[in-house]
Structure 1
């Protein structure tokens, strides 16, 4: 099975001076479904006003991709087992620091999903832990990165 996924990252200098390194890092992220999302460097990396706090930065997008992938697998596994999920809310965070090779990287991602179930067949805490483990093992993004990914259900 092979699938190709595309995303466009579009930045234009416009009238800005470039050689002084004081250009805006704001850009546009366009995905194959047609949605466009404002992107920027993180204000934690490039100070305001050269970055845009209201835009998505690569580190946030990385953490979100891991969270979203895990959620989609979890929902599929829960449905397959006859559980009804009413709500899934993950407050994920990623920690960026120097890794063992001395390079700055997102070295740790923690997922903190709060899941609301309904219906007659509600999973036990052990069932939920097992579904999270299976979702993590199946997640394409988790299987694609070196980053340690931890799931801490709430």
Structure 2
């Protein structure tokens, strides 16, 4: 029997500048994302859509979700396959295409993890585990755009 997980959160718009949405430029896109008692995430829209550049936007959080999910599966698979990861940094890039009518969608996400493994580790296995992590990633399995991974594996000299 499959397990089902539910994730609840609150998105609270904080951008009423006094006249609500009386005009497209009359309100702020600022909002808070709250999950239980965790620290709130300050969100807005992309600055291209009148958003606050100091806050996270949904597009950034989408790419971050893909990157985080992949990383967490990868670390799990390394731990269970005898690969000691001592460093992991992903400089992920998501590409969104906006149509003339204003709607859009992501057309590509590229994960570029730089992974450092312990001396004596198997870099070929460490690279292959990225493919397996991709197959397990809950978020990547839920999106309709390609999610590619171009890992770089280094062996620690310490």
Q: TM-score scaled by structure 1?
A: 0.87
1:83-94 equivalences in 2 (<5 Å)? 83-94=83-94
Kindly tell me: are residues 59 and 74 of structure 1, through their superposed partners in 2, closer, same or farther at Cα, counting changes over 3 Å?
same
Q: Deviations over 1:112-131 (max 9, x none)?
A: 000111143x122x312310
Give the unaligned 5+ runs of structure 1.
none
Any stretches of 5+ residues in structure 2 without a counterpart?
153-158
Q: Alpha-carbon deviation of 1:7? A: 2.0
- Extract structure 1 runs of 4+ deviating beyond 2 A: none
Within-5 A mapping of 1:47-126? 47=50, 51-97=51-97, 104-120=104-120, 122-124=121-123, 126=124
1:4 aligns with one of 3, 6, 17? 6
C-alpha displacement of 1:17: 4.4
TM-score (norm 2): 0.85
Coordinate RMSD, CA, aligned: 1.8
SS of 2:67 mapped into structure 1: helix
1:20 aligns with 2:23: yes
